[in-house]
A and B are shown apart, each in its own frame.
Chain A
Amino acid sequence: MKDKKLRNVWKEIKKNKESYLLILPYFTLFLIFIVIPVLFGAILSFTNYNIIQTPKFIGWSNYKRLFLEDDIFLIAIQNTFKFALITGPISYFACLLFAWLINELSPKVRAITTLLYYAPALSSAIFFIWTYIFSGDVYGFLNGILINLGIIKEPIYWLQDPNINLYVLMIIQLWMSLGTSFLAFIAGFQTIDRSLYEAGAIDGIRNRWQELWYITLPSMKPQLIFGAIMQVTTSFAVADISANLIGFPSPLYSAHTIVLHMWDYGSIRYEMGYASAIAVILFFITVSINQWVRRILRSD
Chain B
Amino acid sequence: MKERKVNRSFWGNLVISVVLTVVAVFMALPLVYSIMNAFKPLDELFLFPPRLFVRRPTLKNFSDLFYLMGTSFVPFSRYLFNSIFISFFGTLGHVLIASMAAYPLAKHKFPGSKFLFNLVIFSLMFSGYVTNIPRFIIMAKLRLLDSYLSLILPYIGATLGLFLMKQFMEQIPDSYIESARIDGANEFKIWWYVIMPNVKPAWLTLILFSFREIWNDTYTPSLYIHNEALKPFSLGLTYIQQGGFVRAGAGAAAAVLMLIPSIIIFIITQSNVVETMKSAGIKG
Contact = CB atoms under 8 A, between A and B. Distances in A.
B86 interface: no
Please tell me the size bucket of the interface on A. Answer: 35 or more
Given A37-B135, A144-B50, A283 B126 contact: yes
A27 B101 contact: yes
B94 to A, nearest CB: 9
A240 B238 CA distance: 11
A116 B31 CA distance: 10
Given A25-B100, A34-B159, A187 B46 contact: no
Contact of A180 (B100, B105, B160, B188): B160
B39 interface: no
A190 B122 CA distance: 27
Interface stretch (B59-67, B68-76, B172-180, B263-271): B263-271
A119 B31 contact: yes
Interface centre among B33, B129, B132 (most CB of A within 10 A): B129
B110 interface: yes
A125 B49 contact: no
A40 B137 contact: yes
The A interface, classified by DSSP as helix, strand, loop or mixed, is: helix
A61 interface: no
Contacts of A194: 1, 4
Contact of A223 (B9, B100, B280): B280
Contacts of B266: 115, 118-119, 122
A120 to B, nearest CB: 6
B216 A124 contact: yes
Contact of A187 (B138, B234, B277): B277
Interface string A181-198: 001101110110010011
A287 B126 contact: yes
A23 B116 contact: yes
A192 to B, nearest CB: 10
Given A16-B110, A131-B241, A34 B123 contact: yes
Interface of B, helix, strand, loop or mixed by DSSP? helix
A119 B263 contact: yes
B157 interface: yes
Contact of A128 (B156, B215, B251, B267): B251
Nearest to B26: A175
A44 B134 contact: yes
Interface stretch (A66-74, A159-167, A227-235): A227-235
A133 B33 CA distance: 9
B24 interface: yes
Interface string A40-75: 110010000001000000000000000000000000
Interface string B251-272: 1100100110011001100110
B132 A266 contact: yes
A102 B5 contact: no
Interface in A207-236: 207-208, 211, 220-226, 229-230, 232-234, 236
A198 B234 CA distance: 50
Contacts of A16: 104, 108, 110-111
B216 A123 contact: yes
B78 interface: no
B30 A240 contact: no
A37 B126 contact: no
B186 interface: yes
- Candidate in B103, B219, B273, B281 with the most chain A CB atoms within 10 angstroms: B281
Contact of A208 (B7, B37, B125, B223): B7
Contact of A33 (B122, B127, B153, B187): B153
Contacts of B227: none
Interface in B1-45: 1, 4-9, 12, 16, 19-20, 23-24, 26-28, 30-31, 33-34, 37
Contacts of A119: 27-28, 31, 259, 263, 266
Interface of B: 1, 4-9, 12, 16, 19-20, 23-24, 26-28, 30-31, 33-34, 37, 46, 48-50, 52, 97-98, 100-101, 103-105, 108, 110-111, 113, 116, 119-120, 122-138, 140, 153-154, 156-157, 159-160, 162, 186-188, 191, 209, 212, 215-219, 223, 234, 237-238, 241, 245, 248, 251-252, 255, 258-259, 262-263, 266-267, 270-271, 273-278, 280-284
9 contacts: A27-B116, A37-B132, A44-B134, A119-B28, A123-B259, A132-B33, A184-B277, A267-B223, A279-B130
Q: Which 3 A-B pairs have the closest CB atoms?
A: A222-B281, A29-B157, A26-B101
